[in-house]
Copies of this chain bind each other. A is one copy, B any other.
Amino acid sequence: MLGAILTANSLELNVDLSITSLFYQLPNLLLALSDSGGEEKATIAALVGTAGIIFLFSVILGEICVRLKLPTVLGDLVAGMLLGGSVLGFIVFSSEGIEVNSALLSGLEFVTGASSAVVEQAYRFQMKDFLDASANIGLLALLFTTGLESDLKELIRVGTQATTVAITGVAVPFVLGTVVLIQFFGVATIPALFAGAALTATSIGITAKVLQDIGRLNSEEGQIILGAAILDDILGIIVLAVVLSLIQTGEIEITNIIYLLTSASLFVLGAVFLTKVFGSVFVSLINNIKNPAALMLLAIIFLNSCALLATAIGLEAILGAFAAGLVLGETEFQEKLQSLFEPFIFVYTTIFFVTIGAKVDLSVLNPTIAANQKGLIIAACLIVIAILGKIIAGFAVFTDKPINRLAIGTGMIPRGEVGLVFAGLGATTGALSNSLDAAIIIMVIVTTLIAPIMLRFVFPSSETEDSEEAVDRDCVPVSKFN
Please give the residue numbers on chain A whose beta carbons come within 8 Å of chain B beta carbons, in ascending order.
Answer: 1-12, 14-15, 17-19, 21-22, 25-26, 28-30, 32-34, 36, 41, 43-45, 47-49, 51-52, 55-56, 58-59, 62-63, 65-67, 72, 110-113, 125-126, 129-130, 132-133, 135-137, 139-140, 170-171, 174-175, 188-190, 193-194, 196-197, 200-201, 232-233, 235-237, 239-240, 242-244, 246-248, 250-252, 287, 289-294, 296-298, 300-301, 303-305, 307-308, 311-312, 314, 316-318, 339-347, 350, 417-418, 421-422, 425, 428-431, 468, 472
Residues of B within 8 A of A429 (CB): 25, 28-29, 32
CB < 8 Å: which of B3, B132, B417, B472 contacts A421?
A: B3
CA distance A136 to B429 in the complex (A): 38
Given known contacts A59-B297, A129-B125, A297-B59, A5 and B418 CB-to-CB distance under 8 angstroms: yes
Of chain B, the residue at the smallest CB distance from A36 is B425
Residues of B within 8 A of A7 (CB): 170, 197, 200-201, 235-236, 239-240, 243
20 intermolecular pairs with C-beta atoms under 8 Å apart: A1-B136, A7-B201, A7-B239, A8-B197, A9-B239, A10-B196, A10-B239, A11-B246, A15-B251, A22-B246, A25-B430, A28-B430, A32-B428, A45-B311, A49-B304, A52-B305, A55-B300, A58-B297, A292-B346, A293-B350
Of chain B, the residue at the smallest CB distance from A416 is B2
Contact B298 A59 (CB under 8 A): yes
Given known contacts A4-B237, A130-B133, A240-B4, A15 and B197 CB-to-CB distance under 8 angstroms: no
CB < 8 Å: which of B52, B243, B291 contacts A304?
A: B52
Contact B111 A9 (CB under 8 A): no
CA distance A52 to B140 in the complex (A): 14
CA distance A332 to B110 in the complex (A): 34
CB < 8 Å: which of B189, B252, B314, B347 contacts A300?
A: B347
Residues of B within 8 A of A49 (CB): 304, 308
Contact B62 A21 (CB under 8 A): no
Given pairs A2-B233, A5-B418, 16 additional interface contacts (CB within 8 A): A1-B136, A7-B170, A8-B194, A8-B197, A17-B189, A28-B431, A30-B248, A33-B240, A33-B243, A33-B244, A44-B136, A51-B304, A63-B294, A67-B290, A293-B350, A339-B339
CB < 8 Å: which of B14, B247, B289, B342 contacts A189?
A: B14
Contact A55 B2 (CB under 8 A): no
Residues of B within 8 A of A200 (CB): 7, 9
CB < 8 Å: which of B293, B316, B468 contacts A2?
A: B316
Residues of B within 8 A of A137 (CB): 47
